[in-house]
């Protein structure tokens, strides 16, 4: 690809380049625009307004491109500045004001700088759109059109992308001048350095299968893709509990947290990264050999971009799709749309993982290395004190302590039902300090016991959680190994553990709060009956009939009263001397009073002739009685 874009025959033409991920597009467009920026010079002059603009869809990719270009143009004296979301905009404005030769930016932040006047585009000679198809998928079309519209007409525009859908072709036709299309690979051939594996799992074993895949391949760096942030958080917690060095990468994290996560992967402090599609777009990890699709992507292009994080720069990689039965047709459609062929098989079982561990152990390069003098002295001490078998067993145990135990998976053919467990046999019970009061759960105790006691799931029987204690049943044949694993302290993560002589008496008592509610219902311990809520006490009282009419109650003096009939009645005030004075209403004409407060809605027209006649008669009756008011307030 780099050779194709630097062909002298292209000259200063615009380019539309489609190439596989990991083929070196960043260095490719860096070389392609070098002559446009430098001309015949070998170094840049004093930095002023930017000469080149590189637009990337995500912060991580933008920062990665900045590092690559800074390395590529190191001897030319180029000043490379980044403008990305999540960073301090004031620092970016000061950097632009000092001058820059190349600016690497994300669309949203770049548009802000242009509108504020801190990004001057008058001297631009080249504009590069990296991962152009992804920027359109993320909804940056309007920002891109604004940016390209503000750029000088006499510029060179290069678009680089893994795929060129119709939307990219339309954008290129609008903003490029007779662009030359460059395709470095055949669209019918899949990435030769990536092996695709479609792994079928039962519906209940999706997460367990991912753990086994990580254990089976033991890649230096692995990337697990999820569709949602909630799934990222869930898997990150699960992997951390199982002893994996894991980091998360999602849109809810700050830029600083995402930068530290990627740096941990590059430094080797973390081995597994759980990420969403947007967060991991375009990132390049040097030792990434395994990509796992925990959730299937939404389309074939996303599948290609996800898988393209591995198998880069000539290195080999594996792309594993976790496929439950209901997702098989979708997986086949995705592979067919991406023109990929994958090997279909079940996810690695626990036996396959352990066999792979043994194979790696026996073929490790350390067996062929020469023994140093210091190692020879230590080895001699061990040989004098222990037998060869004891040394070998201790070596195996120490090696197993560094790894998480694999998971037992159900067979896909059996509908995901787990294999029937053999009879447990003789066992010994242990108690662990802490129960419901410390939020103890079997799913947390199980991996903790396996790791600390150097045992497997098959060595553990029942787990019973009580209020202040937790009881665990361990196979009798594995007790000595378990005690040797936890050591003389008899503690597991700070909690005391005690071996019991007899099985514990476990009472299935109701929860304390439920029992308390039952006891406090009544004094005699019987639950109180709920009051009948259908009728009030006065509804149940006997009815007394009285045919005599009630005497009319007189209104107190100084009060207000309303005329009982008529739609547009006015309130009147009864003075002490008996004179009737109309009260001035604060309402606008054409509105009626509202008992609930607030502005009353306007009175609409009657809905029928009969209603209109009634309203007219009521108005005439009021006019004759002399109690209506004109608009000026005079009597009618």
Mean pLDDT of 627-635: 47
Provide the mean pLDDT of the chain: 80
| H or E, element range at 432 | strand 427-433
Residue with tokens 């210091």: 374
**491-492 β-sheet, strand order:** 460-465, 469-475, 427-433, 495-499, 491-492
pLDDT at 214 (0 to 100):
94
Confidence label for 415 from pLDDT (cuts 50, 70 and 90): low
Residues 6+ apart with CB under 8 A from 398: none
User: Rounded to an integer, what distance in angstroms lies between the CA atom of residue 69 and that of residue 73?
Assistant: 6
pLDDT at 551 (0 to 100):
56
- 163 vs 181 pLDDT, higher one: 181
The superfamily (CATH) of domain 427-499 is RRM (RNA recognition motif) domain (3.30.70.330)
Q: How far from 223 is each of 63, 146, 231, 470, CA to CA, in Å? A: 19, 35, 14, 36
User: Rounded to an integer, what distance in angstroms lies between the CA atom of residue 127 and that of residue 158?
Assistant: 6
DSSP string, 249-290: E-TTS-HHHHHHHHHHHHHTS--EEEEETTTTTT---TTEEE
pLDDT at 254 (0 to 100):
81
Mean pLDDT of 428-449: 86
Summarised one tens digit per residue, pLDDT across range 288-302 is 899 999 999 988 888
pLDDT at 39 (0 to 100):
87
Torsion of CA 53, 59, 60, 61, to 10 degrees: -30
User: Rounded to an integer, what distance in angstroms lies between the CA atom of residue 49 and that of residue 60?
Assistant: 25
Least confident window among 10-19, 301-310, 572-581: 572-581
What residues does CATH 3.40.50.300 cover in the chain?
Answer: 2-183, 194-356
pLDDT at 508 (0 to 100):
61
Please compute, for residue 148, the number of CA atoms within 13 A of its CA located in the half-sphere on the CB side: 22
Which of the listed CATH numbers 3.40.50.12160, 3.40.50.300, 3.30.460.20, 3.30.300.30 matches domain 2-183?
Answer: 3.40.50.300
pLDDT at 320 (0 to 100):
95
Of 99-108, 124-133, 246-255, 502-511, give the range with the top mean pLDDT. 99-108
User: Rounded to an integer, what distance in angstroms lies between the CA atom of residue 164 and that of residue 472?
Assistant: 59
Summarised one tens digit per residue, pLDDT across range 473-516 is 999 888 888 888 888 878 887 788 899 988 888 766 444 454 44
User: Rounded to an integer, what distance in angstroms lies between the CA atom of residue 263 and that of residue 100?
Assistant: 26
Mean pLDDT of 66-77: 93
3-state SS, residue 509: coil
Q: Does CATH place domain 194-356 in 3.30.465.10?
A: no
Summarised one tens digit per residue, pLDDT across range 368-400 is 888 888 888 888 888 898 998 988 888 888 888
- Helix, strand counts (H, E) of the chain: 22, 22
Confidence label for 522 from pLDDT (cuts 50, 70 and 90): very low
What residues does CATH 3.30.70.330 cover in the chain?
Answer: 427-499
Summarised one tens digit per residue, pLDDT across range 200-258 is 999 889 999 999 999 999 999 999 999 999 999 999 999 988 889 999 988 788 878 88
Of 14-28, 179-193, 616-630, give the range with the top mean pLDDT. 14-28
pLDDT at 99 (0 to 100):
93
Least confident window among 343-347, 460-464, 510-514, 585-589: 510-514
Exposure letters 220-234 (e unless 16+ CB within 10 A, then b): ebbbbbbbeeebbee
pLDDT at 139 (0 to 100):
80
Per-residue pLDDT for 115 more than 60?
A: yes
pLDDT at 33 (0 to 100):
93
């Amino acid at each position: 690809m780099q050779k194709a874009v630097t062909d002298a025959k292209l000259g200063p033409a615009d380019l539309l380049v489609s190439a596989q991920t990991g083929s070196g597009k960043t260095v490719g467009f860096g070389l392609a625009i070098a002559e446009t920026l430098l001309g015949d010079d070998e170094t840049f002059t004093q930095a002023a307004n930017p000469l080149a603009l590189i637009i990337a869809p995500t912060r991580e990719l933008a920062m990665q491109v900045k590092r690559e270009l800074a390395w590529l143009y190191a001897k030319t004296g180029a000043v490379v500045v980044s403008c990305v979301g999540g960073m301090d905009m004031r620092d970016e404005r000061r950097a632009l004001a000092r001058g820059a030769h190349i600016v690497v930016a994300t669309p949203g932040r770049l548009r802000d700088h242009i509108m504020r006047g801190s990004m001057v585009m008058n001297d631009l000679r080249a504009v590069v759109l990296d991962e152009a198809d992804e920027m359109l998928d993320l909804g940056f079309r309007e920002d891109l059109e604004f940016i390209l519209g503000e750029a000088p007409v006499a510029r060179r525009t290069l678009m680089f992308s893994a795929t060129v859908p119709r939307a990219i072709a339309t954008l290129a036709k609008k903003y490029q001048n007779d662009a030359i299309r460059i395709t470095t690979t055949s669209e019918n051939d899949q990435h030769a350095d990536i092996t695709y594996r479609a792994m079928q799992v039962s519906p209940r074993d999706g997460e367990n299968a991912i753990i086994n895949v990580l254990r089976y391949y033991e890649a230096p760096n692995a990337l697990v893709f999820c569709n949602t942030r909630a799934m990222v958080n869930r898997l990150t917690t699960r992997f951390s509990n199982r002893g994996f060095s894991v980091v998360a990468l999602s849109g809810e994290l700050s830029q600083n947290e995402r930068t530290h996560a990627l740096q941990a992967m590059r430094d080797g402090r973390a081995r597994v990264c759980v990420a969403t599609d947007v967060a991991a777009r375009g990132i390049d990890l040097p030792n990434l050999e395994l990509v796992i699709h925990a959730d299937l992507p939404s389309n074939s292009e996303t599948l290609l971009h996800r898988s393209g994080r591995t198998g880069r720069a000539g290195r080999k990689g594996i792309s594993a799709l976790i496929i439950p039965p209901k997702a098989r047709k979708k997986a086949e459609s995705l592979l067919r749309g991406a023109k990929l062929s994958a090997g279909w098989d079940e996810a690695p079982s626990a036996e396959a993982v352990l066999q792979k561990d043994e194979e790696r152990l026996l073929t490790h390069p350390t067996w062929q290395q020469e023994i140093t003098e210091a190692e020879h002295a230590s080895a001699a001490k061990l040989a004098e004190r222990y037998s060869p078998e004891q040394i070998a067993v201790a070596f195996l145990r120490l090696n197993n302590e560094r790894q998480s135990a694999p998971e037992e998976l159900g067979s896909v053919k059996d509908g995901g039902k787990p294999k029937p467990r053999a009879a447990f046999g003789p066992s010994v019970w242990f108690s662990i300090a802490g129960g419901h009061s410390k939020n103890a759960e079997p799913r947390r105790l199980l991996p903790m016991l396996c790791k600390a006691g150097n045992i497997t799931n098959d060595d553990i029987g029942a787990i019973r959680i009580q209020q202040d204690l937790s009881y665990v049943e361990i196979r009798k044949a594995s007790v000595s190994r378990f005690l040797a694993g936890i050591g003389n302290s008899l503690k597991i993560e700070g909690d005391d553990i005690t071996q019991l002589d007899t099985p514990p008496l476990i009472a299935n008592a109701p929860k304390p709060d439920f029992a308390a509610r039952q006891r406090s219902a009544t004094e005699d311990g019987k639950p109180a009956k709920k009051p009948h809520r259908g009728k009030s006490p006065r509804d149940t009282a006997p009815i007394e009939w009285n045919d005599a009419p009630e005497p009319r109650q007189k209104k107190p003096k100084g009060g207000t009263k309303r005329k009982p009939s008529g739609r547009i009645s006015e309130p009147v005030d009864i003075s002490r001397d008996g004179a009737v004075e109309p009260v001035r209403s604060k309402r606008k004409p054409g509105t009626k009073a509202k008992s609930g407060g607030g502005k009353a809605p306007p009175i609409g027209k009657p809905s029928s002739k009969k209603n209109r006649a009634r309203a007219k008669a009521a108005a005439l009756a009021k006019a004759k009685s002399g109690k209506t008011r004109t608009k000026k307030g005079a009597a009618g």
